[in-house]
Amino acid sequence: QVLPPYTEDCQHGMYANHARCAGMPPTFEVNLDQDPSVRWNGVVQHKKKELVAMIGQIKLLVGAISPKIITAVDQYLPELIQKLPEPYGAEIQGIAKASGLPDGEILLFNIFYEIFTV
């Protein structure tokens, strides 16, 4: 159907040639025996540029609603990280440290899926 919602017949043979794919993602090991604050470092080192770009875009969108939200994120969310159950709080702090981004902004990324069910 060439008009919205652009439905089509059931597709065939897509798996063999990886049709409509932009590639396969890399695989990383996260060692649960390591301290939570460093176990994600390998992932962050490889994806730092993309993560910074992503957070930057979220800040632009949220900032467009109100710049005060970003100020609040940087000011208040880091306090909430301490309230998260372990190992999740330490993991978020570790990712923030490895990426060079503020703790609150990494937490913001992590609560996005939770919030947008509204």
Q: Which residue, 19 or 66, is less far from another protein as judged by CB?
A: 19
Closest alpha carbon to 103 in 43, 45, 31, 37: 37
Q: Which residue, 40 or 70, is less far from another protein as judged by CB?
A: 40
Give me the half-sphere count of Cα atoms (radius 13 Å) on the Cβ side of residue 52: 11
Angle at which helix 67-81 crosses helix 88-99, to 10 degrees, equals: 130
Q: Which residue, 69 or 109, is less far from another protein as judged by CB?
A: 109
As measured in angstroms, the least distance from the Cβ of 69 to another protein is 13
Distance in angstroms (rounded) separating the CA atoms of residues 50 and 8: 33
Q: Residue 41 burial by CB count (10 A; 0-12/13-18/19+): exposed, middle or buried?
A: middle
CA dihedral 30, 32, 34, 35 (to 10 degrees): 110
As measured in angstroms, the least distance from the Cβ of 70 to another protein is 15
Contacting residues toward another protein, per CB under 8 A: 2, 4-16, 18-33, 40, 43-44, 46-47, 50-51, 53-55, 57-58, 60-61, 80, 83, 85, 88, 91-92, 95, 99, 106, 109-111, 113-118
As measured in angstroms, the least distance from the Cβ of 17 to another protein is 11
As measured in angstroms, the least distance from the Cβ of 67 to another protein is 16
